[in-house]
Amino acid sequence: MIDPVTLAVLKGRLEQIADEMDATLFRSAFNPIIAEAHDASHGLYHRDTGETLIQGKSGLPVFVGAMSFAVKAVIDVAARDGDLADGDVYIFNDPYDGGTHLSDFKLVRPYFRDGELFCYLASVGHWHDVGGNVPGNYNPVATECFQEGMLIPPVKLFAAGEMRRDVVRILQANSRLPGSLYGDLNGQINALDLGVQRLTALLDEYGDKVVTEALAELKDRAARLMRSNIAELPDGTYAAEDWLDNDGITDDPLRIGLTVTIAGDEMTLDFSNTAPACAGPVNIARSTAIASCYVALKHIFQDVPANAGVLDPITFVIPDDSLLSVTAPKPVGGYTETILRVIDVVFQAFGQIAPERSNGCAYGTINALSLAGHRKDGRRWVMFSFFGGGHGGNPVGDGLNHGNAPISTATIPPVEILEAAYPVKFTQWALRPDSGGAGRHRGGLGAVYEIELLEEEADVFLFAERGKYAPQGIAGGGAAAANRFVYEQDDGDHELPFVSKGVGIKISKGQRLHLETPGGGGYGNASERATDDIARDIRLGYLTDTGAREDYGDGGSGQTA
């Protein structure tokens, strides 16, 4: 049995390896979605199962679950081909095998010690443009994956240490921004190289046997702690549901329905009450659905270490015909919107099970916005970015204002970076008053963004959600404000026919886009909010006088706590 001090030291050292891999990519990537927003992740994975052993703290938590499926896909391909070698690196973006969507390119590298496979190292990052019908790849009207970008199955980028440059040329030929792609690819390669160096140094210092024992113990402890947490919850069955606005093809709502069953130290998450697979791109693969549940559970059980042990006591029921378990070629480009709704229903269910652990729903959409055009010298430009909103009120305080989606620890790309990289000017970047859900603890505020085009013309694409179904509160908390998007043309302002999704919108120089993002849902009854807190919100501009009267009547309970 490994002693606790050594285990703690090795846990920190292993996490540092993944953290350094994260930092290497963030500092070398060409596109702002990785370099500034940190839409990437690195980790170490089990040599036989692909299960997550260690993941960095700066990348996207949703990749913890998804990347284990990605690594398993490589394990299966290597077993089929029978030619796995030291120095191999596999590359692919297949969302049905490895989860998420086509923009996320995975690099998986086997790590050998004395000729024996020890584990896998993996890197995933969101590339700026990977082909498809829409620059930036968030195509809200796609009906098959081929309209969303190039699909690459697991293939060798390096064979025994030799780069296959023909693969690189194929990738570059299918991108509107081949230079950005090349830079991001090399950043991921360098991150894996660093991971190999750091892991080798650690194993040389402590020995393979001790580190292997530590990895097994860390997983077992996560599983035991998760079981202990579940055992403290009341046995029973609890249901929650929420909705997506539409699938971009038909303007009909789509239900995400969850039933949670607690039985002793085990939990079942049953999504049988969810809408069937749809025509549009809000479908996700089963691996992505499980990964999003992992993220939600880590919000609720914050003391459990981040590895595969978290899911040991969990049983998933996800029907094959669900929009949470599709296969090729169903479109999956808008996976972010659906996994956010999955997280929301987990929060809502736990609002019934253990409200002291849960929180109001966050703003629930990344508002994937693309602008694309040509500069005066003929060069192509593509601006793709996502935008922030409010987080839900929680048991100990108000929700975060203008945060990033709870699928990640990423940041919103700074206005200075976006204006420096693209021919746009932000004429507004501010908090949105009255957008947080009312409650004893108010939901965080959404934001107001206004973007003016500086080039002669551009095409605009928006892939968003929460335009019809606002983020919900829990424990009696109120709903937040819904999403709103307006674009300017010669004859005035327009809204999207499908509210939160639109393609091929033409704007000209000087015209503006106006986006108002949702806040977070409230926590607890609004009548319990302290009057001092309401007065502070009005003073800071978080609430208008009208909004305060609508949400809190004559000022709440009169408490001053």
CA separation for the pair 314, 217 (Å, rounded): 19
CA separation for the pair 283, 527 (Å, rounded): 39
User: Tell me, what's the pLDDT at 555?
Assistant: 58
Model confidence over 258-311: pLDDT tens digits? 999 999 999 999 999 999 999 999 999 999 999 999 999 999 999 888 888 999
Model confidence over 45-97: pLDDT tens digits? 999 999 999 988 887 778 767 899 999 999 999 999 999 999 999 999 999 98
A 10 A CB-CB count for 512 gives: 18
CA separation for the pair 393, 530 (Å, rounded): 14
Look up residue 203 and give its DSSP letter. Answer: H
Model confidence over 152-202: pLDDT tens digits? 999 999 999 999 999 999 999 999 999 999 999 999 999 999 999 999 999
User: Tell me, what's the pLDDT at 427?
Assistant: 98
CA separation for the pair 317, 322 (Å, rounded): 10
> Dihedral sign, CA of 354, 396, 386, 471?
positive
CA separation for the pair 335, 278 (Å, rounded): 13
pLDDT bracket for residue 407 (50, 70, 90): confident
pLDDT bracket for residue 557 (50, 70, 90): very low
Q: Would the pLDDT of 450 be above 90?
A: yes
A 10 A CB-CB count for 540 gives: 12
Percent of the chain with pLDDT over 90: 92
Quick one: tokens of 204?
């040389």
For residues 307 and 21, which has the higher predicted lDDT (pLDDT)? 21
Model confidence over 378-395: pLDDT tens digits? 999 999 999 999 999 999
User: Tell me, what's the pLDDT at 99?
Assistant: 83
Name the pTM for this structure. Answer: 0.94
Mean pLDDT of the chain: 95
User: Tell me, what's the pLDDT at 306?
Assistant: 82
538 contact partners, CB below 8 Å, separation of at least 6: 544, 545, 548
Model confidence over 486-496: pLDDT tens digits? 999 999 999 99
Calculate mean pLDDT across residues 26-36: 93
| SS3 call for 476 | coil
CA separation for the pair 84, 446 (Å, rounded): 49
Percent of the chain with pLDDT over 70: 99
How many residues would you count in the chain?
561
Quick one: tokens of 219?
């997983």
The angle, 0 to 180 degrees and rounded to 10, between the axes of the packed helices 4-28 and 178-206 is 160
pLDDT bracket for residue 561 (50, 70, 90): very low
Buried b (16+ CB within 10 A) or exposed e, 205-221: ebeeebbbbbbebbbeb
Q: What kind and span of H or E run contains 421?
A: helix 415-421
User: Tell me, what's the pLDDT at 560?
Assistant: 38
DSSP letter string over 270-318? E-TTSPBP-SSTT---HHHHHHHHHHHHHHHSTTS-SSGGGGTTEEEE-
Calculate mean pLDDT across residues 214-236: 96
Q: Is the peptide bond before 329 cis (omega within 30 degrees of 0)?
A: yes
Quick one: how far is CA 552 from the chain centroid? 33
Radius of gyration of the chain (CA): 23
Model confidence over 408-433: pLDDT tens digits? 777 888 999 999 999 999 999 999 99
